[in-house]
Structure 1
């Protein structure tokens, strides 16, 4: 079974006119040319965001988005 990457899931959440934190995260990740777009690995994406994503005000937003990603895959 091929699993969509977290980035692909996140792109389904984009909404440029929303104040929702996950939708804003998706909008910003879309503009991030070095985002690990193929990754399905929590640790890899989390480490990348902690080191590079100054657009993410809280890692809790990522944690919630990752949980939704897992739920959608199952």
Structure 2
């Protein structure tokens, strides 16, 4: 699940807007995200979202997630 040095170092509960790329729909959800040291460094980054069971693109500035549907 987390290859190499990409092991999670922090867990955060985030309420964010999920934008579905293909359908264009949006929804607000509260989810648990796992951050790595690498993902902590960038404003636009990949984080593991526990509820989705995968990594999603996350923008820290406005709490938006991009979901490929």
Task: Name the TM-score, length of structure 1 as normaliser.
Answer: 0.24
| Higher share of residues assigned helix | 1
| Higher share of residues assigned strand | 2
Task: Name the TM-score, length of structure 2 as normaliser.
Answer: 0.25
